[in-house]
Amino acid sequence: MNGRWADVSLTQPEFARYSRHVIMPEVGLDGQRKLKAAKVLVIGTGGLGSPLALYLAAAGVGTLGLVDFDVVDTSNLQRQIIHGTADVGRSKCQSAADRLRDVNPEVQLDLWETHFTSKNALDIVKHYDIVVDGTDNFPTRYLVNDACVLLNKPNVYGSIFRFDGQATVFDPRVGPCYRCLYPEPPPAGEVPSCAEGGVLGILPGVIGCIQATETIKLILGIGEPLIGRLLHYDALNMTFKTFKIRRDPKWAVGAPHPTIKGLIDYEEFCGVRGGASAAQPAFSGSDITPEQLKKRIDAGENLFVLDVRNPNEFQICRIPGTVLLPLPELPTRVTEVPKDREVIVHCKSGMRSQKAIDFLKAQGYTKLVNLTGGILGWADKVDPGMVRY
């Protein structure tokens, strides 16, 4: 953008490829040249990054940067449509790049196979006109926001959880930023990750396509972008609602006393203790490993093993002898948990069990132990034949 498109021309194969764009008055030849000149950074090639990167490449965005450090896992394939079964175990960046080159070999791809951190964010973002946030955790969302604010770059935002999705455009030049919507992060562990709470596989397709649409509108300078408006999508009820977001001037770089002056430690800011991830939280209190628990169960100790997952998860797999009491029901059924026995609490990976322990401690329970790694740890260390999900 920034006038670069004036020097861009289309080849005959590109005219054929983009003919349905070029004949639209809102796009036309100049619009397609703007798309070819544009440089867009996609952070994350997962659920949101998959559809938005595919459509941006197909639309003819000239340069796409992809940021992802992860590898493809089988559990990704339910929603991350840019990857396939043959890609399991491969770098997500490499897998996505192969698919995008097949969709449109005319697009230049910049692969950033690294963690997006406070140390490299500004050096990466500065090369692009627009940033599209396809991440799934609060520390990175705040990092993306602050980098875009400092560099005056539009940030096309999306988020998903279960059946709900959100999308907006944070443009620090003319509108609010992510901190205007969420000045402070939620308490650590308050919002479950998709790995803990699940997500409808189709949902990121809808939100990712909305992000791609907003990105193309920004490049072309057409329509009314979602600046200052948060779009909420409820897939269960098939409803879309928009909410106004007010710009808080204290977050603007050009403010008399700007709050965002540089990048910080975002894991510390979001209360992620010791850099632990949502899937592997840092525990407070006593822990027990799966191997230790198995030895104590085999020894016939009088343990109360409490499973706080949801009933549908309990149907998939369970540790023999455990008692199911879903976390949402714990406050009304707490008397079912004995106070005179040692209580071993577990969930899928450890986040919900720690919340259960915190609640039980407040009710006067003292003999509480958290199973390290949850039932996934049990499957890894004790029962490799257990079904994983």
Q: Average pLDDT for residues 43-71, to the nearest whole number?
A: 98
Q: How far is CA 77 from the centre of its chain?
A: 15
Q: How confident is the model at residue 279 (pLDDT cuts 50, 70, 90)?
A: very low
359 burial type by CB count under 10 A (0-12 exposed, 13-18 middle, 19+ buried)? middle
Return the DSSP state at 231.
E
CB 307 within 8 A of CB 323: yes
Is 180 annotated in the active site? no
Q: What is the pLDDT of residue 93?
A: 98
Q: Average pLDDT for residues 90-108, to the nearest whole number?
A: 98
**Dihedral sign computed on CA atoms, order 190, 196, 201, 205:** positive
Helix/strand/coil for 2: coil
Task: State pLDDT tens for residues 256-270.
Answer: 667 888 999 999 999
133 burial type by CB count under 10 A (0-12 exposed, 13-18 middle, 19+ buried)? buried
> Is the predicted pLDDT of residue 255 greater than 90, yes or no?
no
Catalytic annotation, pick one of 177, 194, 209, 317: 194
> Is the predicted pLDDT of residue 253 greater than 50, yes or no?
yes
| Whole-number percent of the chain with pLDDT over 90 | 85
Is 347 annotated in the active site? yes
Q: How confident is the model at residue 151 (pLDDT cuts 50, 70, 90)?
A: very high
Q: How confident is the model at residue 254 (pLDDT cuts 50, 70, 90)?
A: low
Catalytic annotation, pick one of 93, 177, 180, 347: 347
Which alpha helices (DSSP H) does 229-342 contain, by range? 266-269, 290-298, 311-316, 330-333
Strand blocks (E) in 267-381: 286-288, 303-307, 323-324, 342-346, 368-371
CA distance 275 to 55: 34
Q: How confident is the model at residue 189 (pLDDT cuts 50, 70, 90)?
A: low
Phi, psi of 63 (to 5 degrees): -130, 125
CB 142 within 8 A of CB 131: no
